[in-house]
Structure 1
Amino acid sequence: MSEEPSPAIVVALEIDDPALADRMASLLGGVAGLRLAAPGEAAAITVVSRNRQSSAELHGFDLTPRELDVLTLLAEGASNKTIAKQLGISVHTAKFHVGSLLDKLDATGRTDAVAHAARRGVINL
């Protein structure tokens, strides 16, 4: 007698930022035991993000959603090449975003940028 697998937990995402929604969907899509809800389908868990200020805005930094994505990857120690691959952008664009972050965070380097952002509560390490 074999045991039947448990039904998947159905998760619904309602996120205004299409890039963030796609990223969350790709991350959650590979998790065993979870299934993303179809549009209009009832879900056990619903994640909603509607017109909320980002932590960067709350802490005095004017970072774009893409810069926040890059900052998160910087905090994970990602290279420009890895950032580009993860976000589906060119290495040149990744370098541009890193440079913009360094300017906006008044940082001397990648590690300094992550440290500044962590100290101000923009990211959690």
Structure 2
Amino acid sequence: MSEAPASPIVIAIDLDDPELSDRLAAMLGNVAGLRLAAPGEASNVTIMASEPAERGSDDFQLTARERDVLALLAEGRSNKEIARVLGISVHTAKFHVGQLLDKLDATGRTDAVAHAARRGIIEL
């Protein structure tokens, strides 16, 4: 006995940026199990732009050095590389990374970058 194929997930794209909308449509248009909604058609999911997080709205502030370290973390740099780029010791780089993890309530380096991006502290 064969099962009937599942209905595709219908996705609508509602963005103010037509170029971004076209890029998303091109990427999603070829994904098995997905179908782009026609104009006015009901969808299962709608991709919409959200308002960016208000900068500095959190109850903590990052120092200029912590922002430098965060930018290098976002590039995937190690503590040793961060130290070399910023002209500081590896111990100091490790300290700054630890401070960032605490301030951003992150479980690791990648999580810190993700939290910072969601909060609008950095842009990826």
TM-score, normalisation: structure 2: 0.54
The answer to whether the Cα contact below 8 Å between 1:57 and 1:63 also exists between their aligned partners in 2 is no
Distance 2:97 2:76 in 1: 12
Counterpart code for 1:59: S
Q: Tell me the equivalent position of 2:57.
A: 59
The structure having more radius of gyration, on CA atoms, is 2
Distance 2:62 2:81 in 1: 20
Q: What's the RMSD between the two structures over aligned residues?
A: 1.8
The number of aligned residues is 71
- Residue 59 of structure 1 and its aligned partner are, at CA, apart by 3.0
- Residue 62 of structure 1 and its aligned partner are, at CA, apart by 1.3
- Assess, with a 3 A threshold, how the Cα gap between structure 1 residues 121 and 67 changes in structure 2: closer, same or farther: same
Stretches of 4+ aligned residues off by more than 3 angstroms: none
Q: Tell me the equivalent position of 2:74.
A: 75
Deviations along 1:50-85, one digit per CA (max 9) or x if unpaired, are xxxxx9961313110000000000000000000000
Distance 1:112 1:85 in 2: 23
Q: Tell me the equivalent position of 1:111.
A: 110
Distance 1:98 1:114 in 2: 11
Distance 1:111 1:88 in 2: 23
Counting only pairs closer than 5 Å after superposition, residues 1-125 of structure 1 correspond to structure 2 as: 58-60=56-58, 61-125=60-124
TM-score, normalisation: structure 1: 0.54
- Give the gaps of 5 or more residues in structure 1: 1-54
Distance 1:69 1:93 in 2: 13
Provide the secondary structure at the position in 1 that maps to 2:97: helix
- Give the gaps of 5 or more residues in structure 2: 1-52
- The share of aligned pairs that are identical, in percent, is 76
Deviations along 1:22-44, one digit per CA (max 9) or x if unpaired, are xxxxxxxxxxxxxxxxxxxxxxx
